[in-house]
Amino acid sequence: MKQKSSVSITTIGLAIFTMLFGAGNIIYPIKAGVLAGSKNYIGILGFLLTGVLLPIMGLITMILFDGDYKAFFARIGRVPGYLAILFCMFIIGPMLVMPRCITVPYDMLSPFLPNVSLNVFTLFFTTVTFILTYKESNLLDILGKYMSWLLIGSLGLIIAVGVFNGQTMIEQSLPASTIFFEQILHGFQTLDLIATIFFAFIIVRLIKLNTHGDISPHKLALMGLKGGTITAVLMAAFYVGFSYLGAYYAYLVSPDMNGAEIFRTITIHVIGQYGVFVLIFAVFMACISTLAALAAVFADYMRKEIFNNKISYIQSLILSLVMTIIISNFGLSNILKYGFPVISFGYPIIVSITLCNMAYKLFDMPYIKVPVLATTLAMIAIYVYPHLM
């Protein structure tokens, strides 16, 4: 007799949402609202296109691949596939996104922690991350049953109070089409497509762990898809809310401020004297949950693919967090500065792989190498051409 799944669709959806909704998911939509102003209604559509639709497409495609990211990337060739995985892993791992999950809350909270250096803050954050992830099988319950509700409640309070009391938006003179395409780029910066590809892998595996592997591929896919729908609705709701916070309170900030500074300023304004406590709690929940999920994914990858199972998961996790500590201490501004061109170059290539793989699974369309090569050459041309002039 088959055992009934011990995880609910709601838990899966909330776990995926909690994994995804981290530092970038706060700072980019609120800054998008500041920049869009009175035309936020069109700007948020562009943001949702790349911030929600693309990641959900990636989730669906990965579920169709049974969460096997190696099979997902192998279709472009063994060596290119290996390099693509390596690129993605280090981007969402210790080179960019994991340090961003530490430096964003530090930039937000540092005015209220005058005696806490970035070194100390980073060590604290990575220690908590280790405690959450050292036993990987507990991660789904921790994220889906506990941390998700704390995250939703704290961030939801900020949005509800802010939007309810919002009055006027700064008039935006830029054409609607310009705003739309600018916010498409902001949606890219969340990096949720790459994260979803690898989170699907860990979600599939954790579902199997919680059901002792006694689940059919059809039921597994159905659970993942239903959970993904919950994730998409929550992500879209929070993106819309944060963008309108930015649009309503743009007069409090300046466009040259980073998203962490913008969020801190607006939150303290809308919540008042208790804003500091809500801000600290909300930012901690958002960033530590994503950091924990990323650390588990990267540690597992490094243990299996780089060290060929010669070290344990715990050892790999510690090594991942040490690398994250080193990069984090460069600070948020430097991390965003060097990360932007890397993301801008590589992300369209990952998008083309995802779209081709989705077409392959849903419509049996085998083409992938030529479209991906064309995208790669186009990105090389975009980056090289200005230097030749």
For residue 11, give the amino acid letter: T
Q: What angle do CA 387, 28, 339 make, to 5 degrees?
A: 35
For residue 286, give the amino acid letter: A
The Cα 313–Cα 334 span in angstroms is 30
- Comparing CA positions, the residue from 370, 299, 336 lying closest to residue 103 is 336
Q: Which two tokens stand for residue 339?
A: 């990360």
Q: Which two tokens stand for residue 215?
A: 């689940």
Contacts of 155 (CB under 8 A, 6+ apart): 26, 238, 282, 285, 286
The Cα 227–Cα 233 span in angstroms is 10
Residue 3: the pLDDT is: 45
Contact yes or no for 243/28 (Cβ under 8 A): no
Q: Could you read off the pLDDT of 199-234 as tens digits, one per residue?
A: 787 777 767 766 665 677 667 777 777 888 888 899
Contact yes or no for 367/355 (Cβ under 8 A): no
Does the structure show a pLDDT above 60 at 191? yes
**What does the buried/exposed string (b/e) look like for 312-328 if buried means 16 or more CB atoms within 10 Å of the residue's CB?**
ebeebbbbbbebbbebb
Contact yes or no for 19/199 (Cβ under 8 A): yes
CA dihedral (246, 248, 249, 253) in degrees, to 10, reads 60
Residue 362: the pLDDT is: 86
Q: Could you read off the pLDDT of 153-180 as tens digits, one per residue?
A: 888 888 998 888 888 888 888 888 889 9
Residue 257: the pLDDT is: 82
Residue 146: the pLDDT is: 64
pLDDT band with cut points at 50, 70 and 90 for residue 143:
low
Contact yes or no for 51/190 (Cβ under 8 A): yes
For residue 333, give the amino acid letter: S
Mean pLDDT over each residue of the chain, to the nearest integer:
83
pLDDT band with cut points at 50, 70 and 90 for residue 7:
low
The alpha-helical segments, DSSP class H, found in the chain are 9-20, 23-36, 40-48, 54-64, 69-74, 78-92, 97-109, 118-133, 139-141, 148-165, 176-188, 192-210, 217-248, 259-271, 275-301, 313-328, 332-363, 369-388
Residue 338: the pLDDT is: 80
pLDDT band with cut points at 50, 70 and 90 for residue 2:
very low
pLDDT band with cut points at 50, 70 and 90 for residue 340:
confident
Q: What angle do CA 125, 33, 232 make, to 5 degrees?
A: 65
In this structure, of 69-83, 87-101, 254-268, 369-383, the range with the lowest mean pLDDT score is: 254-268
The Cα 291–Cα 302 span in angstroms is 16
The Cα 91–Cα 85 span in angstroms is 10
Residue 249: the pLDDT is: 92
Q: Does domain 9-341 have CATH number 1.10.4160.10?
A: yes
Q: Which two tokens stand for residue 132?
A: 């959450």
The Cα 30–Cα 106 span in angstroms is 17
